[in-house]
Structure 1
Amino acid sequence: MKEYERKQLLERVEREGATVGADIPETIDVQGESIDLREFVFEIKRRDTVPAGERDRVDRAKKNLRRERLQRKQLLEEGDVTRAEGEELVNAIVGIDRALNALQNLGPTDLEREEQAQEAADRKRWMSFLKQALGRDDASSRGRL
């Protein structure tokens, strides 16, 4: 493949709207294991929230997909590939990006954890407010010792 062709393919991968209209691959080999990617993504997206048991599976899948995307992009950048192989790599990378976008945009994965985080943030704001209102914030109390 000529260098300008390689640059064109890489540009397609990095284009802002590259995933618009792209299909999630039916299956994909990730780390030597064949995964039914489309089925997995649609199975997860059908739910309103991801249960705690599935959250680890989704996080692991996203991590593996990111790793696979990087490897394929590096092969496209540096590998000795033909134009046809480059096209296949670009389609696979864009499909992985599409799957990652779908998995990233899931709703809250754990309502209980999110509620606890919200309560902790509320308590922290309340304590900060009380310290300021009572004149006991860190800056003013240091000078009183």
Structure 2
Amino acid sequence: MSVKDDTLSEWERNQLLAALHARLFWVGEEIPYSIEVNGNKCKLHELVWQLINKENLTDEDREHISKYIAYLREREQKDETKLKTAKLTKKEAKDLFNETGGILRALMDLREIEDGTVKEKEKEFHDIFSKERVAEARRWLQFLHDSGGLE
């Protein structure tokens, strides 16, 4: 009976690395719920959510955001180097890939919070969503009318 080699192949490694660098890769990635920051556990998901929903940022908030961005950037680079060079199983590589994707997502969100574009994007999303709902309702009503369901 042969033992299946579960080591990440060079081709698989290159696929994961290419995916990390794909445009808008981080869209849809989930921010890690917690991450270790300087030996302390940080509830990263909760932190980003609170900052996104905060009406106005204080100078202290901005300082914290800058520190988190710097830390997460460093962490992302270490994880990517590990993904490039370490001998990993496929599961370890996929877990590291997912963590790195979540970190990249957190970085993008924190940058948007810091520069104020997160509120603009949220408003834009809600405007588009509302217009799509109205358009969908009109299409549905037209369908009902055309099929004789509405007289």
By the TM > 0.5 criterion, same fold? yes
Partner of 2:111: 104
- Matched-pair contact (CA < 8 Å) for 1:49–1:106: no
User: What is the aligned residue count?
Assistant: 109
1:52 matched to 2:59:
yes
1:1-145 correspondence runs (5 A): 1-106=8-113, 108=115
**Residues 107 and 32 of structure 1: CA distance in aligned 2, closer, same or farther (over 3 Å):** closer
> CA 1:30–1:107 in 2, change beyond 3 Å: closer, same or farther?
closer
Deviation for aligned residue 1:60: 0.5
Superposed CA deviations along residues 13-35 of structure 1, whole A, max 9, x for unmatched, are 11112112111111122444321
- State the TM-score, normalizing by the size of structure 1: 0.70
Q: String of CA shifts for 1:85-132, please: whole Å, max 9, x gaps.
A: 1101110111011111111112657xxxxxxxxxxxxxxxxxxxxxxx
Consecutive unaligned residues of structure 2, counting only runs of 5 or more, are 1-7, 117-151
Moved segments of 4+, more than 4 Å: none
Q: Match of 2:75, as an amino acid? A: E
Q: In structure 1, what is the Cα distance between the partners aligned to 2:33 and 2:93?
A: 19
47-56 vs 4-13, which moves further: 47-56
Q: 1:107 to 1:65 in 2, by over 3 A?
A: closer
Structure 1 contact 31–68 (Cα < 8 Å) conserved: no
Q: TM-score, normalised by structure 2?
A: 0.67
Q: Percent identity?
A: 28
Would the aligned equivalents of 2:65 and 2:114 in 1 still touch at CA under 8 Å?
no
2:26·2:105 contact (CA, 8 Å) conserved in 1?
yes
Amino acid in the other structure paired with 1:21 = G
Which protein is bigger by CA-based radius of gyration?
1
CA distance in 1: counterparts of 2:41 and 2:80, whole angstroms:
19
Cα root mean square deviation, aligned: 1.5
CA, structure 1 residues 28+70, in 2 after alignment: closer, same or farther (shift >3 Å)?
same
Distance 1:33 1:65 in 2: 14
Distance 1:28 1:80, change over 3 A: same
Amino acid paired to 2:26: T
Unaligned regions of 5+ residues in structure 1, if any? 110-145
SS at match of 1:71: helix
